[in-house]
Amino acid sequence: MNGESRIGGISEGVSGVGSVGRLAGVSEPRVRDTQASASGQINRGEDKVELSTEAQVLAPWLNKLKQMPAIRQDLVDQIRGQIASGSYDTAEKMNAALDGMIDETTSGQIC
């Protein structure tokens, strides 16, 4: 049958090896354009980065965050002292926490 087979009356052709191994949508790797100077050195193009407006606005804040310590030890020590002395849990703080929970519940912010 010479590279063909018959299955249920349908003829299937089998191509040679040259047509196998290529994936649709896959292209050959591209080589970056370079130019050789008279001295034989390769001059490559320059890379360029452009930041979005949002990134430009956020960059100073990110730098400030990076400068802050991961843990504000002074605040941790202050709260530990309040807890140890019994002055941390107050009625005002409890009411504020409950009011916040009620607001979140009624506004649909809690899933």
- Domain parsing of the chain, residue ranges: 73-111
31-87, pLDDT tens digit by residue?
A: 555 565 666 777 778 888 888 999 899 999 999 989 988 898 999 999 999 999 988
Is residue 88 within 8 Å of residue 82, measured between CB atoms? yes
Distances (CA, A) of 93 to 83, 89, 90: 13, 7, 5
Phi/psi for 95 (5° steps) reads -65, -40
Which residue matches tokens 């843990």?
Answer: 71
Q: What is the spatial distance between Cα 51 and Cα 48, in angstroms, rounded to a whole number?
A: 10
Residue 19 pLDDT: 46
Residue 11 pLDDT: 47
